[in-house]
Amino acid sequence: MTDPYIDPDDYSDISENEVSATQLLEVPLSLCGERLDAALAKLLPDYSRSRLTQWVKDGLVKVDGQVVAPKTKMLGGEKLEVTLQLTNEEMAFQPEPMDLPIVFEDDHILVINKPAGLVVHPASGNWSGTLLNGLLHHCPSLANVPRAGIVHRLDKDTSGLMVVAKTVPAQTELVRQMQARTVKRVYRAIADGVVPFDGTIEGH
């Protein structure tokens, strides 16, 4: 059984192949005098400035239909066509209607009784239909919380209660508690067949 605590590097199985999506923007007059790369950083805050600058250099950003340099000054009113180069993971973070078995919810957390067969987080082979997709539909504000508030996970075929943070402070505190192991997790397994010994299985 997978340790349910999500380590920051626990997604090495996620494909980094990129897919494209086009976004149309208009430069507001308030950004008059700004460089293109600086204006993009304010219009698309979800992406780093270095990443946006590279897209401009790669010809993936057009200003009024033309490819220009990152340092090009904006006057305001320009039409931008940005070809976003997104990873499969980024594309997978989309809300999907789902009947979530919620057993508790308040302003800070919610508790899900995850059924067996439900994948928790998008990954290779499961880019949709995951718990994360259902959470984003149930609570759109989770788009502003890393990993949609998920702080621990269960394997696809494992059922059980999962705590989800609805705010960044709540997520930070839950992760702290899990790292400190002040949260107790109890697992129950069913053996199919005859277990040839008596005893207790203990693990972390």
- Pairing mode, if any, of strands 18-26 and 79-87? antiparallel
The catalytic residues are: 155
SS3 147: helix
pLDDT band with cut points at 50, 70 and 90 for residue 16 = very low
Q: Judge whether 18-90 and 93-179 match in fold.
A: no
pLDDT score for 93: 78
Tell which phi-psi region holds residue 170, choosing left (phi > 0), alpha (psi between -120 and 50) or beta. alpha
pLDDT score for 4: 37
Q: How far is CA 95 from CA 55, 87, 141, 151, in A?
A: 26, 17, 11, 18
Q: Is the pLDDT of residue 20 over 80?
A: no
pLDDT band with cut points at 50, 70 and 90 for residue 9 = very low
Q: What are phi and psi of 23, to 5 degrees?
A: -125, 130
pLDDT score for 203: 60
Q: Is the pLDDT of residue 17 over 70?
A: no
pLDDT score for 138: 94
Domain definitions of the chain by residue range: 18-90, 93-179
Q: Is the pLDDT of residue 45 over 80?
A: yes
Least confidently predicted of 13-17, 20-24, 115-119? 13-17
pLDDT score for 204: 52
- Of the ranges 6-10, 30-34, 138-142, which is most confident? 30-34
CA distance 56 to 47: 13
Q: How far is CA 127 from CA 23, 88, 147, 158, 174, in A?
A: 21, 7, 14, 19, 26
- Domain 18-90 CATH class label: alpha beta
Q: What is the pLDDT of residues 58-117, one digit of tens each?
A: 999 999 999 999 999 999 999 999 998 777 666 677 899 999 999 999 999 999 999 999
Q: What is the pLDDT of residues 140-192, one digit of tens each?
A: 998 888 888 998 888 999 999 999 999 989 988 998 898 888 887 787 877 78
Q: What is the CATH number of domain 93-179?
A: 3.30.2350.10
pLDDT score for 147: 83
